[in-house]
Amino acid sequence: MKLSLACGDYDITSALVTGQVRPEGIDLDVLPLMPHERQARLSRYPEFDAAEFSIAVYLTSFQKPEFPYIGIPVFPLRCFRHGAFFVRSDSKIQSGEDLRGKRVGVTGYVNSAAIWGRSVLQHEHGVKASEIEWVSEVSEYADWQPPKEIPLAQCSTMVEDLLVSGGVDAILYPKVPPSFKPGGPIRRLFQDYKQREIAFFKARQYVPLMHIVIIRKALLENHPWVAWSFWKAFREAKRICLQSLKDHINYSSQIWLGHAVEEQLNVLGEDPFPYSIAENAECLRDVIQHSVDQGLLTKPADINSLFFRTTQDASLPSAVNRYRV
């Protein structure tokens, strides 16, 4: 069966992108697209059979009858977001509490990085989403209207440029902005972000998930086996990635790769990217509740409803002890 997959080209998906790993029974065309292009195309046209997708956009879309995709428990991108807050270098803003009543730029309000960043403000600094004026640099990918208590404005330029020029007081940004450099015009709000992220993990025991893999509903209704073929392939690509990190500790251009790998193992464990519903239950409950708190959802969603029915069987992941290419 010939199918298409749109996903990011990360180390954890690289074996799928290159064809080293192939899903069972599938002749797969992989399109390694950047997140904004992938989100924009998927939100307008269901042109791929499977895709990596923003968990934020998925949560605001999956219950709508016209949305043509359903998720499987594969989460290829996870990040902490304490380090995603930036302010001007000369700003008097020194804490999350200082953002109350300020203007904060985001790539989009319905955005995975923004959900987790806003949750940091609410749960670690007592600042709710409704207490900040949000400025978005893109039109929302989801068919979503902000509730009246959420101040949200649209801009026609990059929010990084607005920050430098004084148009916003801070930005919550999924990537490190080009203006962030030694002696540059912006700085991180939380200089000790790594220590904060380690503390978050010790308290919650997960790395926040950003993206989920979705598959066309009509395809799975006719060929339900496709869900597990994709799941097994993504898991094998992940296994290859994590093993490669260990194998290349002494053979890398990254001088301190060994130290970084050892530290990650000590802090996060062998696999901080679990691919099952049970292992992600607390993380999923939290991102759903954050979405309610921030106005993306009107009520909490049932976790199992996010996933195709065959992948809700908790016994199957443990039954697949080893998947060979």
Q: Which residues of the chain have pLDDT under 70?
A: 314-325
Tokens found for residue 191: 């200089």
Judge whether 171 and 160 are in contact, CB under 8 Å. Answer: yes
Answer yes or no: same fold for 2-78+209-319 and 82-204.
Answer: yes
| SS3 letters across 182-244 | CCCCEEECCCCHHHHHHHHHHHHCCCCECEEEEEEHHHHHHCCHHHHHHHHHHHHHHHHHHHH
Length of the chain: 325
Residue with tokens 């799975």: 220
DSSP letter, residue 68: -
CATH number of 82-204: 3.40.190.10
Q: What is the pTM of this model?
A: 0.94
DSSP letter, residue 305: G
- pLDDT of the residue at 45: 84
The domain ranges of the chain are: 2-78+209-319, 82-204
Report the topology of domain 2-78+209-319. Answer: D-Maltodextrin-Binding Protein; domain 2 (3.40.190)
Residue with tokens 């002749």: 27
- Give the pLDDT confidence of 104-140 residue by residue, as tens digits: 999 999 999 999 999 999 999 999 999 999 999 988 8
Tokens found for residue 28: 């797969």
Other C-beta atoms closer than 10 Å to the C-beta of 287 total 21
Report the alpha-carbon distance of residue 97 to residue 17 in Å, rounded. 43
Residue (of 177, 133, 144, 181) closest to 158 by Cα position: 177
- pLDDT of the residue at 319: 57
Three-state DSSP at 176 gives coil
Residue (of 140, 125, 318) closest to 231 by Cα position: 318
Report the alpha-carbon distance of residue 289 to residue 75 in Å, rounded. 18
DSSP letter, residue 135: E
**E strand residue ranges, the chain:** 2-7, 27-32, 50-54, 69-72, 85-88, 103-106, 133-136, 152-154, 170-172, 186-188, 211-216
Output the CA angle 169-158-189, nearest 5 degrees: 35
- pLDDT of the residue at 323: 47
